[in-house]
């Protein structure tokens, strides 16, 4: 069967089902679908109701016993109503089993699912016949004897493939195994076979079935598993919600159980749902984002003569250097405000502005948007309005605005791109404006170190809080996207990955618009391919968190496990906590230019407990660091460094290295330099408990002679070492606020600092496992 004919065969199956009013397949149809794409299915026959069955048909199945399954569009869970049985492959026994099903299932259905749901007569009328299939004898290996292979369309990310343990064990495995070990979650494309195989290896059942297990040979070759997954990936691509070449979308296709017989995978039970629903795949107005982020002209509405939200925004725009002569204020009755020209209405704007900032209440947004669109007075709009899309009754306003813009774009007429609503605004260094409504005296914008950083956040408060805490890193852009009324997270990442001034994109996501997660993944791959870094913190993980997300930004969060797996596979570094998000952003900025050659880490401390704790954190769900021992030359060099203080008589030299509290600045840093120069070491985590009198860890003071600003101090030497190496190096300062000046001095000098050694090791573990080669 040619591959070109596969989609046509499946389309005909779906069309036939649709003609009967069904958007799901019966099991014989699922077998035909799977067989069309090359997945071996059990030998079987469909015996329609009220038609004869020939004994010769049973003989063709080739087994002494057969499985008989009821076929009805109403009965999807056959076992619950006695719709599955195993009998000898004789015409008499099969007929007896079928007649018993026909007689008993209608009443049993009513008992199981409730009499008010459907009458027994309706159930009886729905029965189309039975599927009679060979009884497949398969390998019995306990866990892993029955597998699950599935395809489903995620609201956020589109088609996804799942593989793991199946049968009755599915729910148990998902509930009791750590994420990533019960199921592999895979995209339909974007991963090569090597990376797909790596994802499968993490699944608990893989080691039992595809590797030797307690003297038993592997039950199935990894290549066979990859081929089966490849079939589902091709089905997902051919019948994708993003591809309009075929009219149907496979919403769900699941084989459970999938079993192993003589090294081959055989599907026993299957279900399939389909639709004609499609998602927006392309045609997004991404190039127009440039007018939004780098406008040459600007207008604002909602500015009071007294201080209000609009007036604060106007002041912030002016204070960031946007020229007053290119700012228009929509304000009847005034000629100027804050030195900017006023006009009485949108219609009287003297030009089409690149950016229009709309700060009116939610109920007043649509009339202004209608004027802007129909009169073609703006190329981009920021809708600040709080409550839009969240407060009861305002969802229709957003829908009306989307419809207004979509109609214009479909007619290929000019329409602005819209950021928001319910957003805090945008800060753009290239655009020389700040459209947030936080007064300057309440928020000091970051400055000092141009970081090539773009922050894209669904929450404006999250964005400003991170900027406030990391105020040394000046972002190129800080974008609060709000409800994603028009422009989405995927749109912004698509735009930013092509901007040369952006080297790191940090994203806070609560939920994606339908299908936008798929576009975000596409952009994530391009971002990483372009040599940029992408950090994502995804909230809305628990049922409670998803509920809060929906009420906060009027978007529904998707399945966190799916998002986490797909984002990681696309090259994003996924932060598990806010603190980790901040540490990742900070360290990736400071480590720019360093090279990741491998996972071999050098660990060093002046406290024994830290050496133990750091070693305890080498391995985790996000990756693994390798503890390679130092070369003989490095051991000898470190021994020589330790000799003058007699530390060589107290400690052996190994990795992790404990230099004891006796090590002074020169000794401590000499050991750091030695281990970093070892070819067996790819990266290093250096931890210091700074209370020892042997180290200079305090700023100058009356009661001591220490000076952390001296070049020969611990800080001065560490900074010099950091600047001279191309290996990733982070430092931990495990102490309280007296040692904040030391930590701040190191970070101001460019060295990433953590305040607990386990966090430092976990960061390095995630960094080297990210797949990045150069930072």
**Is 564 a residue whose pLDDT tops 70?**
yes
pLDDT at 620: 87
**List of long-range contacts for 163-171, beta carbons under 8 Å, 24+ apart:** 163/200, 163/203, 163/225, 163/229, 164/203, 164/204, 164/205, 165/203, 165/204, 165/205, 166/255, 166/256, 166/257, 166/258, 167/256, 167/257, 169/143, 170/256
Which pair of structure tokens corresponds to residue 255? Answer: 């084989």
**Is 214 a residue whose pLDDT tops 90?**
no
**Is 545 a residue whose pLDDT tops 50?**
no
Q: Quick count: other Cβ atoms within 10 Å of Cβ 414?
A: 13
**Is 354 a residue whose pLDDT tops 70?**
yes
Q: How many helices (H) and strands (E) does the chain have?
A: 25, 34
Question: Residue 518: which of 251, 150, 159 has the closest Cα?
Answer: 159
How do residues 189-210 score in pLDDT, each as one tens digit? 988 999 999 999 988 889 889 8
pLDDT at 544: 45
Beta bridge partners of 626: 600
pLDDT at 2: 60
pLDDT at 755: 93
Say which residue, 444 or 758, is predicted with more confidence.
758
Contact 592, 598 (CB under 8 A): no
pLDDT at 394: 67
Question: Residue 492: which of 381, 417, 555, 424 has the closest Cα?
Answer: 417
677-703 burial by CB neighbour count: b if 16+ within 10 A, else e? bbeebbbbbbbbbbbbebbbbbbeeee
Q: What angle do CA 712, 716, 720 make, to 5 degrees?
A: 110
pLDDT at 168: 67
| Lowest-confidence pick of 127-136, 378-387, 630-639, 729-738 | 378-387
Q: Match 């779906």 to its residue by tokens.
A: 14
pLDDT at 395: 76
Say which residue, 329 or 560, is predicted with more confidence.
329
Q: Where are the beta strands (DSSP E) in 552-702?
A: 573-575, 601-605, 619-620, 623-624, 657-658, 683-688
How do residues 625-676 score in pLDDT, each as one tens digit? 999 999 999 999 999 999 999 999 998 999 999 999 999 999 999 999 999 9
Q: What is the pTM of this model?
A: 0.90
pLDDT at 548: 47
Give backbone dihedrals phi and psi of 687, rounded to 5 degrees, phi first.
Answer: -120, 145
Dihedral of alpha carbons 238, 240, 246, 251, sign: positive
Which pair of structure tokens corresponds to residue 650? Answer: 């107290």
Question: Residue 757: which of 578, 592, 615, 575 has the closest Cα?
Answer: 615
pLDDT at 317: 97
pLDDT at 259: 93
How do residues 611-626 score in pLDDT, each as one tens digit? 999 999 999 888 899 9
**Is 771 a residue whose pLDDT tops 70?**
yes
Task: For residue 145, name the pLDDT band (cuts at 50, 70, 90).
Answer: confident
Task: For residue 177, name the pLDDT band (cuts at 50, 70, 90).
Answer: low
DSSP string, 68-83: EEEE-TT-S-GGGGT-
3-state secondary structure (DSSP) of residue 17? helix
CB within 8 Å of 6: residues ≥ 6 apart: 36, 37, 234, 238
Q: Match 């989307």 to its residue by tokens.
A: 402
| Lowest-confidence pick of 111-120, 462-471, 564-573, 650-659 | 111-120
Mean pLDDT to the nearest integer, 38-65? 92
pLDDT at 172: 66
How do residues 225-281 score in pLDDT, each as one tens digit? 999 999 999 999 999 999 999 999 999 999 999 999 999 999 999 999 999 999 987
3-state secondary structure (DSSP) of residue 184? strand
Task: For residue 556, name the pLDDT band (cuts at 50, 70, 90).
Answer: very low
| Helix runs in 179-253, H state only | 193-201, 206-209, 222-238
How do residues 72-83 score in pLDDT, each as one tens digit? 998 878 888 999
| Helix runs in 350-481, H state only | 365-374, 395-410, 460-469
Question: Residue 647: which of 677, 668, 678 has the closest Cα?
Answer: 668
How do residues 721-752 score in pLDDT, each as one tens digit? 999 999 999 999 999 999 999 999 999 999 99
Q: What is the separation of C-alpha 110 from the centre of its chain, rounded to a whole number of angstroms?
A: 43
Q: Measure the N-to-C terminal CA separation of the chain; round to a whole number of Å.
A: 48
Alpha carbons within 13 angstroms on the beta-carbon side of residue 409 total 18
Say how far apart CA 25 and CA 246 lie, in whole Å.
Answer: 18
**Is 498 a residue whose pLDDT tops 80?**
yes
pLDDT at 555: 33
Q: Where are the beta strands (DSSP E) in 232-379?
A: 249-261, 264-267, 270-275, 298-301, 327-330, 336-337, 340-343, 355-358
* Average confidence score pLDDT of the chain: 91
Going by the DSSP 8-state scheme, the letter that residue 618 receives in this structure is S
The H or E element spanning position 543 is: helix 543-553
* Order of strands, sheet of 753-754, starting from the edge strand that comes earlier in the sequence: 657-658, 601-605, 683-688, 729-733, 753-754
Give backbone dihedrals phi and psi of 28, rounded to 5 degrees, phi first.
Answer: -60, -35
Helix axes 460-469, 578-590, angle to 10 degrees: 50
**Is 450 a residue whose pLDDT tops 90?**
no
């Amino acid at each position: 069967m040619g591959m070109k004919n596969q989609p046509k065969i499946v389309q005909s199956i779906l069309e036939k089902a649709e003609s009967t009013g069904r958007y799901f397949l019966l099991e014989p149809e699922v077998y035909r679908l799977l067989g069309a794409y090359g997945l071996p299915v059990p030998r079987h026959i469909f015996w329609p109701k009220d038609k004869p069955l020939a004994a010769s048909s049973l003989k063709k199945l080739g087994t002494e016993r057969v499985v008989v399954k009821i076929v009805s569009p109403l009965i999807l869970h056959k076992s619950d109503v006695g719709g599955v049985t195993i009998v000898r492959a004789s015409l008499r026994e099969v007929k007896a089993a079928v007649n018993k099903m026909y007689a008993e299932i209608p009443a049993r259905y009513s008992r199981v699912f409730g009499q008010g749901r459907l009458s027994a007569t309706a159930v009886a009328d729905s029965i189309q016949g039975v599927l009679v299939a060979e009884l497949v004898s398969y390998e019995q290996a306990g866990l892993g004897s029955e597998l699950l292979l599935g395809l489903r369309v995620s609201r956020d990310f589109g088609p996804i493939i799942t593989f793991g343990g199946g049968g009755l064990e599915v729910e148990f495995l998902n509930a009791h195994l750590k994420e990533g070990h019960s199921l592999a979650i895979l995209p339909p494309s974007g991963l090569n076979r090597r990376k797909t195989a790596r994802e499968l290896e993490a699944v608990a059942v893989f080691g039992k079935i595809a590797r030797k297990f307690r003297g038993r040979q592997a039950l199935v070759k990894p290549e066979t598993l990859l081929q089966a997954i490849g079939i589902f990936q091709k089905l997902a691509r051919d019948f994708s919600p993003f591809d309009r070449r075929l009219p149907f979308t496979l919403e769900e296709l699941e084989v459970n159980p999938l079993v192993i017989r003589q090294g081959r995978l055989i599907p026993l039970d299957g279900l399939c749902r389909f639709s004609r629903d499609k998602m927006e795949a392309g045609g997004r107005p991404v190039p127009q984002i440039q007018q939004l982020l780098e406008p040459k002209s600007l207008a604002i509405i909602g500015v009071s003569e007294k201080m209000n939200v609009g007036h604060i925004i106007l002041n912030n725009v002016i204070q960031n250097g946007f020229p007053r002569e290119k700012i228009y204020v929509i304000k009847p009755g005034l000629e100027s405000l804050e030195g900017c020209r006023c006009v009485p209405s949108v219609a009287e704007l003297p030009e089409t502005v690149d950016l229009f900032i709309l700060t009116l209440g939610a109920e007043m947004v649509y009339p202004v948007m209608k004027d802007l669109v129909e009169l073609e007075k703006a190329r981009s709009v920021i809708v600040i309005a709080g409550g839009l899309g969240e407060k009861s009754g305002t969802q229709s306003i957003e829908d009306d605005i989307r419809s207004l813009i979509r109609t214009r774009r479909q007619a290929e007429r000019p329409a602005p791109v819209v950021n928001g609503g319910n957003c805090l605004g945008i800060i753009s260094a290239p655009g020389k404006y700040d459209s947030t409504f936080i007064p300057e005296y309440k928020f000091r914008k970051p400055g000092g170190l141009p970081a090539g950083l773009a922050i894209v956040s669904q929450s404006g408060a999250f964005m400003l809080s991170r900027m406030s805490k990391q105020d040394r890193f000046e972002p190129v852009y800080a974008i609060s996207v709000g409800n994603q009324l028009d422009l989405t997270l995927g749109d912004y990442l698509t735009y930013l990955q092509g901007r040369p001034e952006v080297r790191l994109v940090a994203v806070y996501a609560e939920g994606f618009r339908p299908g936008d997660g798929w576009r975000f993944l596409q952009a994530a791959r391009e971002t990483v391919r372009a040599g940029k870094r992408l950090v994502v913190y995804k909230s809305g993980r628990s049922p409670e968190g998803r509920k809060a997300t929906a009420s906060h930004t009027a978007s529904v969060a998707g399945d966190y496990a799916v998002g986490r797996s797909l984002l990681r596979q696309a090259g994003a570094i996924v932060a598990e906590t806010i603190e980790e998000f901040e540490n990742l952003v900070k360290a990736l900025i400071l480590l720019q230019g360093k090279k990741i050659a491998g996972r071999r880490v050098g660990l060093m401390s002046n406290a024994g407990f830290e050496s133990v704790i750091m070693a305890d954190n080498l391995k985790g769900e996000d990756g693994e660091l390798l503890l390679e021992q130092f070369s003989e030359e490095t051991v000898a060099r470190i021994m020589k460094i330790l000799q003058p203080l007699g530390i060589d008589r107290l400690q052996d030299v190994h990795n992790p290295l404990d230099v004891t509290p006796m090590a002074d600045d020169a000794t401590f840093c000499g050991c750091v330099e030695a281990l970093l120069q070892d070819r067996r070491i790819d990266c290093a985590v250096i931890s210091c408990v700074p209370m020892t009198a042997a180290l200079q860890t305090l700023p100058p003071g009356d009661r001591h002679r220490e000076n952390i600003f001296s070049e020969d101090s611990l800080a001065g030497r560490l900074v010099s070492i950091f600047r001279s190496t191309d290996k990733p190096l982070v430092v931990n300062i495990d102490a309280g606020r007296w040692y904040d000046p030391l930590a701040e001095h190191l970070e101001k000098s460019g060295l990433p600092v953590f305040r607990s050694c386990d966090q430092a090791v976990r960061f390095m573990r995630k960094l080297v496992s990210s797949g990045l080669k150069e930072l």
